Each structure stands twice: as structure tokens, then as C-alpha cells.
Amino acid sequence: MTRIEERFERLRREGRKAFIPYLTAGDPTLEITRDLVIALDKAGADVVELGVPFSDPIADGPVIQRGTERALAAGSGLRKVLGLGAEIRKQSQVPLLLMSYYNPLFNYGLERLAKDLAQSGFDGILATDLTVEESDEYSRLMRGAGLNTIFLAAPTSSPERMKKIAQASSGFLYAVSRTGVTGERQELDSDLQDFLQALRKHTSVPIAVGFGVSRPEHVRSVWQSADGAIVGSAIVREIEKNIGKPDLVERVAAFAGWLSHPDEKSLPV
């Protein structure tokens, strides 16, 4: 069992849901990302998604694009992110998911990557632009190294595709809440419930929802119908707002704590 599977299993037993923050690794520096992961772990994160910055992030909205540019300027990239995983593991056992566009992964070499990810303390991997049709070799190697393979399901996925995606996913399944790129929204898509119900028919692995989840009430709403809520852009924006401040890590962790405790109303400042 990976740390991701253990965590979802424990949450299920306790009748709780997962809070999954996303960070672009190296935004604004690799050291701050390390400290953020450790602080998010303490603030109640159940899994942390670490994004590998890529030069051409076609699925990301402006907030994560800017985070990506900051991370690239700080010299981040796949090899650095592997080192970051090992650094985090010295201080934290929070489940870690590597998220990346496919090119850096393929360029590194999939066989070597599977081995190095496992050694660096990662528990799972998600490639944003890798469709299940193209993933046979990738999934075989990643799973062979004991990693979870997480795939995206979209509201536009046909029932046949949902089935294929569910079969290819382990650890959890990432449900994209709406069409479009990453980014905050005022309200979640009203069709989300139907989509999640359709998806549920095809899988017994936990389902986590991301894209647009940016407020405590979104987290609460997602928790009612799925097993986890993924928050990306809202956290990256909070990082952006606090760049240069000595207490950036504390502020972002407090913001994450506010998001993940949707029954407590006010944001601690």
C-alpha cells in the first residue's frame, strides 16, 4: 500500500474526506516549497501535489502559469523536484503526488523515473497530457515501482472513456470539475453531481475533485459527493500575494487551514 492508499483508507474508516493542496515545485524557490509542504502537512493536508514546472503549460490558467514562470526562473525542473522529494522525506511522511506534463517525464526516461520517484519518496504520479490510450508502458513501469498512477476524468469523458480511466487509475481518480483550464471560480459547476455519480459507477477507488475549488464552501460541497478536494490556483495565488514576506509559509499554511476547515467561518490572519 502506498501512503496515498493508506491515507484514503484511514479517512474512510474515520468518515472523513481528503484535503489535497497543489504547489508548483520551486515557486518561489525550492527551499520555500519544502517548508510549505511540511507546514501544509501540519495544517492538515492529506496528500500534497507537487507540480513540475513546464515551459508550455496548456492546461493551466494564468495563476498557475505565473507560478510556473517563477519556478522555472528559480531553476526548478524534474531533477530538482526529485531532490526536493528526498528533502521532504527527511521531515515528513505526508503522501506526495508528482504532477507533470508528459514531456519532462519522457525526456528523463520512464524506467529511470519510476525507480527515482520511488527512491525520492513519491507515492504517485499524474501526467496532465497523457491519455490512457498512450499510457500502457508508463503505467506498467510506474506501478512496477510501487507508485500509484492517477489519471484525469473530465465532464466531457464518454462512459467508455470513464471506464478506461477508472481501470488505469490507482490511489485515487482525479475528477476535473468542469471544462477549461485550472483557476479559481465563484461557484462550482452545477452538473458536477451528475458527473461524479456517473464516474462512481465505474470505480471503487477514491475520487478527488479539482479545477476551480477555491473557497471553503467549495471544499464542503465537494466533500459531500467525493472523497477529496484538490485546491491549486487559490493556494498559488496566496503564495504570489505573500512573496517576499518573511512569514509567507505561515500565511499560506493558515490559508490552507481555513480552506480545509469549511465549518469555521473566518480566515485567521
Partner 1 sequence: MKGHYGEYGGQFVPETLMYPLEELEAAYEAARQDPQFHADLDHLFRNYSGRPTALYFAERLSRTWGGPKIYLKREDLNHTGAHKINNCLGQGLLATRMGKKRIIAETGAGQHGVATATVCARLGLECDVYMGEEDIRRQELNVYRMKLLGARVVPVSSGSKTLKDAINEAMRDWVTNVRTTYYMLGSVLGPHPYPMMVRDFQSVIGRETRTQILETEGRLPDVLVACVGGGSNSIGLFYDFIEDRQVRMIGVEAGGRSTKLGDHAARFAGGKPGVLHGTFSYILQDEDGQVVPTHSVSAGLDYPSVGPEHATLHDMGRVEYTAILDDEALDAFGELSRLEGIIPALESAHAVAQAKKLKLPGDRIVVVNLSGRGDKDVNEVARLRGNL
Q: What residues make contact with partner 1 under the rule CB under 8 A?
A: 54-61, 65, 72, 77-79, 101-108, 128-131, 133-134, 151-158, 161, 165, 176, 179-181
Half-sphere CA count of 197, side-chain side, radius 13 A: 5
Exposure b/e, 58-88, CB count within 10 A at least 16 = b: eebbebbbbbbebbbebebbbebbbebbebb
- What lies within 8 Å, CB to CB, of 235 at 6+ separation is 21, 22, 23, 252, 255, 256, 259
DSSP 3-state of 265: coil
What DSSP character marks residue 166?
H
Return the active site residues.
Answer: 49, 60
Phi and psi, residue 176, nearest 5°: -80, 120
Closest by alpha carbon to 161, among 135, 140, 185?
Answer: 135
The C-alpha atoms of residue 45 and residue 257 are separated, in whole angstroms, by 8
E strands of the chain, at which residues?
Answer: 18-24, 48-51, 96-100, 124-127, 148-149, 152-153, 173-176, 207-210, 228-231
Closest by alpha carbon to 250, among 23, 92, 17, 38?
Answer: 38
Distance of CA 24 to the CA centre of its chain: 10
Q: How near is the Cβ of 225 to partner 1 at its closest, in Å?
A: 19
